[in-house]
Amino acid sequence: MNVLVYPSTHPHASTVQRHLSSILVPHYLPQIISPDVLAAPENPWQTACGLLVLLAAPDHHAGIRQYAETRGKILALGVNASKSQGLHETASSFGLGVLRDTSILRLVDGKASLHLSFPSQATTPATVNHSECETAITRIPSASLDLGSGVRVLGRYADDKTLAGALSENGTIALWSCAPPLPEQLLIPTLSALGLRIDLLKSTESQQPGFSLLPQLLLAHPKKWDIQRRVVHTLFPDRNLEMDGTHKVIPSESAVFPDEHDNFRFHFVHEIPTSDLPSDHPILTLLSGVPKEEVKDVILAAQLLTAEQEKYYTPRFSPSTFFSALDEFRPTSKADELLMGDVLLYGEVVTSTQTMLDKNPKLLRTLPSPLLSLATKQVAGRGRGKNAWLSPAGSMLASLKLSIPLKSVDSGYDSRSIRPSNLVFIQYLFALAVVEACQALDPANKWAPKVKLKWPNDIYGEFPAEETWKNVELKKLGGILVNTSFRGNTVDVIIGMYRSSVSYLHLRVDPGCGLNVLNEPPISSLAQLEALTRGQGVASSLSVEQVTAAVFTTFERIWNSFLAEESEGFRPFMERYTSQWLHSGQTVTLTTIFPSHHGSHGGHHARLRAFAFDMMKGLIKTKTS
């Protein structure tokens, strides 16, 4: 769910958003919302909103009142509030409970009404008493909370003991009369009182607000560890990197690789301790300098982590288990053959695996192909268009970099090259790989047949329906995102995965992204499909490492077959694709002509680049953008 900070024009909106991100990510995605988007009826923000933070009075009240009446949660900062009994309309009312004076917002609280306004006035220093503690704040002299009885006190001013913060009678509206931003000592208990999910460990960390990223590890398959050394020499060709007999890189300092969007600081680590480790994340001890928000740190270990070291440095993902799973799902490869997954860039908490590659062209060109970037958590994941994503643990969060020669007369039609017109099929091929990987994971076909494709780039699962009139309920498990970057006769392709079910405000938000593997409800996942077929109390046999290996080894086979018959385009895969999708026999409505035409989809592929093809609604219509 997303947390919306209103309005975007408020001078402290960005600061409030950063503070909320430091506390709520990855369970929620704080975003700033503009007045026009909040008021636009075509943007039903209420559906995906877990909390609305008000820093000023909105110009249009109807949407907020509707949100509050459905028990939507609101946090108002710098507010002047009063309470009146009864819900009757007055002569000064406009519509259903919206006062003619748009500077005053009226919200229902049980059997009473709350009247909110946001005074603009110079602030003064003050102190708030809360939970036997004192916190310094800035006070707005004309802002007060006149709420009577029935509210939960969150804090009082130390000097005059008047109410500074309170939770409404119905528990869904939190009010603070002090000026934003609200200090973390007050913000965390307020969010908790509103019922938002907060990691207690994270909320007690003394980190810089908003800083939660962790370094990434650049690793290689243990049978092909020399690949890591070649990557280092490609990134830093002018550095004199000493090597010993065990291929250990032993430079004396870190090196910075600058790019357009980010600067990358590579740390060459020879020894990885397993004792006397700090209480915070041990991986931070491997850095040769202090972590900085403006720099992305990458650690190059001298050798693959042992199982003991993985417990400390990569507790949520086992690289050794992943590499072993690669060997399980693919035939033996040559030592000098670089296959998908052999070079791994893993980070426990990153901004976005897709953005890191897509927005840094120099790094993108320099890194080997194929290269797999994995994360356990993303705090700013990428979706289609301008969509943004967040993700809790349990999902497969991956981006794959491929560099492919373009077919041309000059290239001599290399058998490993591709026509630009065939790049569109990559998303279909990868979606097919996800479904067929599930079949490899479930050879008895107990749950894999319930994993389906939704055209053009989504993965769905068939779950038992809650409504009796439905046979099954379709729930989204993941999606595929493909970005391309052209340079000369080569195209760099980045294949990423996202997961969501709600799309508003130019952002997609849901408590999960990537291919959902082990996520718990309300997020749908492969493990939940598997649980429907196994006995009660039997643990899942799935793991993120195993599923990731199955997906990329399956895609590698499909990709090689596609390139071998590239001149045929998608035709050799059409039957396999349509046999796994949701749309065979579905009736659709063509709305690009009048009157609308109806027809049954018999399993044929629709190439409609100028149209939006919504199979879930049975509509084909002209794209608006």
- Can you give the CATH number for the domain in which 165 is found? 3.40.50.880
pLDDT score of 101: 57
Measured CA angle at 22 (ends 66, 315), to 5 deg: 120
CA atoms within 13 A on the CB side of 304: 20
Beta-carbon count within 10 A of 203 CB = 16
Max CA separation in the chain (angstroms): 88
First vs last C-alpha separation in the chain: 26
* 361 domain-assigned: yes
Strand boundaries in 360-471, DSSP class E: 371-382, 388-391, 395-405, 451-454, 458-464
* 211 domain-assigned: no
The last residue of one of the domains, among 146, 177, 203, is 203
pLDDT along the chain (625 residues), means of 10: 88 90 81 83 75 91 87 93 66 39 80 89 90 87 89 92 92 94 91 82 40 82 88 81 46 76 87 76 80 80 89 92 94 80 90 78 89 82 44 79 82 74 93 95 94 89 82 88 87 75 30 69 86 78 95 96 93 93 69 51 41 44 47
CA-closest candidate to residue 321, choices 354, 344, 350, 352 = 344
Specify the pTM.
0.65
Query: If phi over 0 gives left and psi between -120 and 50 gives alpha, with beta otherwise, what is residue 515?
Result: beta
The last residue of one of the domains, among 170, 203, 236, is 203
Please name every residue paired with 107 in a beta bridge, in sequence order, or none if there are none. 114
User: Do both 269 and 395 map to the same domain?
Assistant: yes
User: Do both 406 and 431 map to the same domain?
Assistant: yes
Q: Are 497 and 457 in contact (CB under 8 A)?
A: no
Q: Please count the structural domains in the chain.
A: 3
User: Do both 289 and 367 map to the same domain?
Assistant: yes
Cα distance between residue 495 and residue 484, in whole Å: 9
User: Do both 535 and 605 map to the same domain?
Assistant: no
pLDDT score of 201: 43
* 210 domain-assigned: no
CATH number, residue 246: 3.30.930.10
User: Do both 198 and 220 map to the same domain?
Assistant: no
User: Do both 255 and 307 map to the same domain?
Assistant: yes
User: Do both 76 and 50 map to the same domain?
Assistant: yes
Please name every residue paired with 516 in a beta bridge, in sequence order, or none if there are none. 395
Helix, coil or strand: residue 158: coil
Helix, coil or strand: residue 94: strand
User: Do both 539 and 482 map to the same domain?
Assistant: yes
* 526 domain-assigned: yes
* 191 domain-assigned: yes
Cα distance between residue 616 and residue 294, in whole Å: 42
The whole-angstrom distance between residue 284's C-alpha and the CA centroid of its chain comes to: 23
Instruction: Return the DSSP state at 127.
Output: E
The dihedral built from the CA positions of residue 13, 17, 18 and 23, taken in this order, carries a sign that is positive
The last residue of one of the domains, among 560, 578, 596, is 578
User: Do both 342 and 412 map to the same domain?
Assistant: yes
* 461 domain-assigned: yes
Q: Are 229 and 247 in contact (CB under 8 A)?
A: yes
Domain range for 229 is: 216-578
pLDDT score of 508: 27
* 365 domain-assigned: yes
User: Do both 162 and 306 map to the same domain?
Assistant: no
Q: List the structure tokens of 561.
A: 């077959």
User: Do both 593 and 572 map to the same domain?
Assistant: no
* 209 domain-assigned: no
User: Do both 148 and 122 map to the same domain?
Assistant: yes
Helix, coil or strand: residue 230: helix
pLDDT score of 181: 92
